[in-house]
Amino acid sequence: MSAIGGIGGAGFTPLTAPTLSQPPGAKTGATGGFQGGLDAVSKSIGAADTATAQVATGTATDLHAVTIAATKAQLGVTMTVALRNKAVEAYQEIMRMSV
């Protein structure tokens, strides 16, 4: 009886795990995540402001995109406020602990 060979000779290449690359100077950890989230919310607010200005001047062609941009900005602000409130609650809980 002969041994069964591997499938390496069949032209298959082994899978490798994807790697996440960080842009140069990017912060890592919680601070980088929070800063990235705040930057994304800031950009969505700017996009909503731009879209609203286009509606006001009559240059907007897609009202659905304007509504979507405004909703994204609203959700981003709501999530940011909720995250801030949780952080404040956690800080207050830590300060109440006795050492």
Q: Where are the domains of the chain?
A: 27-96
**pLDDT recorded at residue 96:** 94
Q: Which residue has the higher pLDDT, 34 or 96?
A: 96
Query: What's the Cα-to-Cα distance from 53 to each of 36, 68, 69, 92, rounded to whole Å?
Result: 26, 15, 12, 41
CB neighbour burial string for 58-94, b if at least 16 within 10 angstroms, e if fewer = eeeeeeeebeebbebbeebeeebeeeeeeeeeeeeee
pTM equals 0.63
**pLDDT recorded at residue 33:** 83
13-68: per-residue pLDDT in tens?
A: 666 666 656 666 556 677 788 899 899 999 999 999 999 999 999 998 889 999 99
